[in-house]
Chain A
Amino acid sequence: MAIIEARNLTYTYPYAESPAFKNVTLKIERGEFILLTGPSGCGKTTLCRCFNGLIPHFYGGKLEGEITVAGLRTTEHPIHEIAHHVGLVFQNPENQLFALTIEKDVAFGLENLGLPRDEMRRRVDWALKVTGIYDLKDRAPYEVSGGQQQRVAIASVLAMQPEVIVLDEPTSFLDPLSAKNILEVINRLNKELGITVVLVEHRLDLAAKYANRVIVMNDGQIILDGEPRKVFLENEAALIGVGIPKVIRLYMLLKRSGLNISGVPLSPEELSKSIMEALIFDRC
């Protein structure tokens, strides 16, 4: 059974005139790595809020259709129960931090999981280390920089190692190298532990190579859904403002100029290699 399944899901915020998204039907299988993208305001965050029950339990409003996550109908289970299965990293990290120290923030979710003491300790230390904030663990979460706060938010979800991790623009405050390293960690959790990942991003260059599937939303609907190498080539994606990685843009420009290069690249290395081959064999 799919780990996330939505059928004809339509949601309207309280006092909103029109739904934030309508008739979304979506199936995500266990172990997938999904990249969810689309223009600002298209409904990505709203959809994420349905995955962990914040909608409808916290936001209210009107949710129509059906959604199950990790076998739970989210409308029928409280947020704290869903949280055992689904971790959400908020778009705005500050809204997720509240403890007196960074270490306590990261440990908070774990306390309700009923893990043995030393397993808990091990997980907290691991999460602090892979996000590069171990040295800051005794500081208050509001006494650090924006990127450091975002790492705390990420660490507290990683520590839980839930079945599904949903990250809403988790790298927007991160310096590029840290973003790369943290995405690498998330990729390992996905490939080694089979944790399902839903990653919302506007900047697709760093994350493209980890995803098996890209879902593009526009104006409250899913308009494209498929392998990254296919979706990125769709005209519509570029048109609505999807941040197509530059390697793909260069690849398309070269193709259009008549250069016969093989394979759609998802990283600079892949593109360099095929340019090299094209030059050697001059397959024009």
Chain B
Amino acid sequence: MIDVKDVYFTYPNGVEALRGVSLQITDGEFVAIMGQNGAGKTTLVKHFNGLLKPTRGRVLVDDVDTRHVSVATLARKVGFVFQNPDHQLFSETVEDEISFALKNFGFDEKTIKERVNWALNILDLTRYRGTSPFMLSGGERKRVALASVLAWDPKILILDEPTIGQDRNQKERLRQFILQMNHQGKTVVIVTHDIEFVAECEPRVVLMANGKIVADGAARNVLTDPDLIAKSWLILPEITNVLLNLKDIGFPANVMDVYEARDLIIERIGWARK
């Protein structure tokens, strides 16, 4: 469990990025953190693996205060994928990149090989095994960054903007993967601006603004609330918007899914014909 207790954080230049954040994320949850640029999302999740320590307040990961353990120790449990993949890639080949942490954690040769193959496959990177990460496209680099963390199978996964540079098919693979992880009891926290991706995943959504949490609830409630959306510099999911415009003729205002919308509209037609 991640337990954030009234956390404040100020950067060395004096910017107060977190101003009293409290949040609990239990094992096996899937949470999306969203909100305006500069709201403090990246700053907050960097506290979950000890990359940043609170200026005031406490962060507990499985009851351990992050101030009292090193990032290296926490890393085995909390995998972190950076917003910008270039902050984490350094190896000469994709394969080296993915096996690097596995070696550090002391996995044996055979397991390393298996894990690397598995991660390459999950992220559709097998053909780039021997390629330098710096000779890949933006989206491919992001997937290498994801692969290198997924490979060691951390109990808690923190993904800062995982869908950047990904096409629809890659996003769908990622979604399936996250749901599967969740199913196995892993905790997944994503930070994202990809509202349609969140609408498809339906996780718990935490909205941030100005260093504080301004909303916390099921995607279906949070993302379809026009006031919250405006307050957090988001926009309504496309489908919600379509039906909201038809609210006066009786359509519900909290639908995000294309198929659900289709069924409602078709049902309505049948009903009108009777």
* Residues in chain A within 8 A of chain B (CB atoms): 13, 15-16, 38-41, 44-45, 91-92, 94-95, 139-140, 143-148, 151, 168-169, 172-180, 202-203, 205, 238, 240-247, 249-250, 253-254, 257, 259, 268-269, 271-273, 275-276, 278-279, 282, 284
Contacts and interface: CB of A to CB of B under 8 A. Distances in A.
A128 B170 CA distance: 34
Given A92-B84, A151-B37, A203-B194, A146 B165 contact: no
B170 A247 contact: no
Interface string B150-173: 000000000001001111111100
B37 A175 contact: yes
A143 B11 contact: yes
A53 B86 CA distance: 23
Among all A-B residue pairs, the 4 with the closest Cβ atoms: A147-B37, A40-B139, A241-B169, A272-B245
19 contacts: A39-B167, A40-B167, A92-B138, A139-B13, A145-B37, A147-B37, A148-B37, A148-B38, A169-B138, A169-B164, A173-B37, A176-B193, A205-B196, A253-B262, A272-B241, A272-B242, A272-B245, A275-B265, A282-B269
Given A146-B83, A276-B249, A45 B138 contact: yes
B268 interface: yes
Interface residues of B, number: 58
B246 A272 contact: yes
A282 B273 contact: yes
Given A169-B165, A176-B233, A238-B168, 4 more contacts: A40-B139, A173-B193, A175-B35, A250-B258
A176 B236 CA distance: 9
Contacts of A278: 269
Contacts of A173: 37, 83, 161, 164, 193
Contacts of B234: 175-177
A40 B266 contact: no
Given A40-B165, A202-B165, A174 B193 contact: yes
Given A146-B83, A177-B234, A268 B36 contact: no
B69 interface: no
Interface in B165-204: 165-171, 193-196
A253 to B, nearest CB: 4
A39 B172 CA distance: 13
Contacts of B269: 259, 278-279, 282, 284
Nearest to B245: A272
Given A202-B165, A254-B262, A177 B233 contact: yes
Contacts of A147: 37-38, 193
Contacts of B170: 39-40, 241
Given A41-B140, A146-B42, A259-B269, A246 B258 contact: yes
A272 B262 CA distance: 12
B111 interface: no
B261 interface: yes
B136 interface: yes
Nearest to B230: A177
Contacts of B230: 177
A172 B37 contact: no
Nearest to A41: B137
Nearest to B83: A146
A274 to B, nearest CB: 10
A250 B239 contact: yes
Nearest to A93: B84
A275 B247 CA distance: 12
Nearest to B232: A175
Contact of B165 (A172, A269, A282): A172
